[in-house]
Structure 1
Amino acid sequence: MFGGGGGLDPRKMKQMMKQMGIEVTEIDANEIVIRTDDEELVFTDVEVQRMDAQGQATYQIVGDPESRPLGEGGDSGGDGDVDVEEEITASGGADEVDVGAGEEIPDSDVEIVAQRTGASEEQAREALEAENGDLAAAVSRLE
């Protein structure tokens, strides 16, 4: 999840995230469907994590989606679909997609990274932008 985490072991990374008020939860999902104007991206063999930080939830989806035209697979608004009004980050290897791209990095996230690392707010914002808003990765980048 944190490509090249600077040599930190997962236990230390988890402890750092807990200290920053970040909670990560694995979600046992069977299928994820992302509908765009043109197609549906269907993830069936998928790993999903929910990260809660500062009152905002971020979902990370890891898997290879199947692309299909709209309306071709299953019901619309059925039980297996996920409708999320929160930032969703989906990555599937080389085809990494950041659905929340283009959104501003919250000032509260910048302050957390700056406080944790002792960096300036400008440096913290740059690290967050480079890491697509990932708090733990931004902290790791600056330490």
Structure 2
Amino acid sequence: MLPMNPKQMKKMMKQMGIEMEELDAEEVIIRTSDEELIFRNPNVSKISARGVETFQIVGEYEVVKRPPKISEDDIKLIMEQANVDEETARRALEEAGGDLAEALMKLQE
């Protein structure tokens, strides 16, 4: 295939019903259950085709581990089962990554 200049490429994409827009993004954060992917100053494109919008993110990113979510119910359960105060129960759960059984076992050692 021969190289195509940007104007020709845009015209061809428009004929196929594809629109592309560059977004002026400062930061993009993708959160998963246990970590965040943080893109700073990324190149972000929004591509619209046949009613579907797709985003393309290009750039370097940093992976940040997220602390586990610890509910008040979990803290109360550990407090009751291990007969400890709230601060001790919370700390045990944090050290165990939110795992109730592991937190309880550590407190009973």
Bin the TM-score by the shorter chain: 0.5 to 0.7
Unmatched 5+ residue regions in structure 1? 72-143
User: Which has the larger Rg?
Assistant: 2
In terms of fraction of residues, the more helix-rich structure is: 2
Distance 1:6 1:62, change over 3 A: farther
Partner of 1:42: 38
Partner of 1:14: 10
SS at match of 1:29: coil
SS at match of 1:12: helix
Work out the percentage of aligned pairs sharing the same amino acid: 48
Structure 1 Cα separation of the partners of residues 42 and 61 of structure 2:
9
Structure 2 Cα separation of the partners of residues 6 and 70 of structure 1:
47
- Segments of 4+ in structure 1 off by > 2 A? none
Normalising by structure 1, report the TM-score: 0.44
Whether 1:56 aligns to 2:52 is yes
Structure 2 Cα separation of the partners of residues 68 and 31 of structure 1:
14
Partner of 1:23: 19
Deviations 1:98-128 (A, max 9, x none): xxxxxxxxxxxxxxxxxxxxxxxxxxxxxxx
Displacement after TM superposition at 1:50 (Å): 0.2
SS at match of 1:60: strand
Normalising by structure 2, report the TM-score: 0.57
Aligned length: 67
Structure 2 Cα separation of the partners of residues 7 and 37 of structure 1:
43
- Kindly provide the amino acid, as one letter, of the partner of residue 22 in structure 1: I
Unmatched 5+ residue regions in structure 2? 68-109
- Aligned CA RMSD, in angstroms, stands at 1.5
